[in-house]
Amino acid sequence: MVDAYIGLGSNLADPLSQLAGALARLAALPRTHLVAQSPFYASRPVGPQDQPDFVNGAVHLQTELAPLELLDALQSIEQAHQRERIQRWGPRTLDLDLLIYGTQTINNDRLTVPHVELVNRDFVLQPLLDLSPNLQLPDGRRVADLRQQCVDNGLRRLHPVPGSLASSGGDD
């Protein structure tokens, strides 16, 4: 089993419902166990500003799926949520990113892990920190250190969604 961290995001069609649906699908992936879910956060969009704020979070999975198998599964979940890839950094019903896959560094035409923008996104770093305060990237950089250096994108923690894994961990 490999520890994998997945970033979740949505800013269309009831983002909290989109993320709740994605969590259910992630929990049902074959040869995979959903270990933990971070709280959700709202933040301003990166890129075009003429779109709604995003809701983001992350999950920790333990999986036997190979990286590209996991990527295919994530893209299948996005498609089930009517994801359309029209504009870079544009609005979307669901975005699932493979952020970290064990201690592997992957760089091919389909997948870059750790995710290329991870170090620049507070809405990715903070949920990862919530899941694992001592998490490190494969190159040894600590997520906590990266979070301290990251530009603020107006991150706001949201209250837990009833029935989610995060709702059992308390509130603000």
Q: How far is CA 45 from the centre of its chain?
A: 15
Quote the CA–CA distance of 107 and 97 in Å, as a whole number.
14
Active site residue 85: no
pTM of the model: 0.89
Of 31, 44, 72, 95, catalytic: 95
Of 83, 121, 122, 130, catalytic: 83
Active site residue 141: no
Of 3, 92, 145, 147, catalytic: 92
Q: pLDDT tens digits, residue range 91-149? A: 788 999 999 999 999 999 999 999 989 999 999 999 999 999 999 999 999 999 999 99
Active site residue 95: yes
Active site residue 44: no
Q: pLDDT tens digits, residue range 71-96? A: 999 999 999 887 555 655 557 889 99
Of 88, 97, 109, 171, catalytic: 97
Instruction: Give DSSP secondary structure letters for 27-86.
Output: HT-TTEEEEEEPPPEEEPPSS-SSSPPEEEEEEEEEE-S-HHHHHHHHHHHHHHTT----
pLDDT of residue 64: 98
Q: What angle do CA 60, 16, 61 make, to 5 degrees?
A: 10
Q: Find residue 7's DSSP bridge partners.
A: 58, 97
Domains and CATH numbers, the chain: 2-160 (3.30.70.560)
* Mean per-residue pLDDT, 59-82: 95
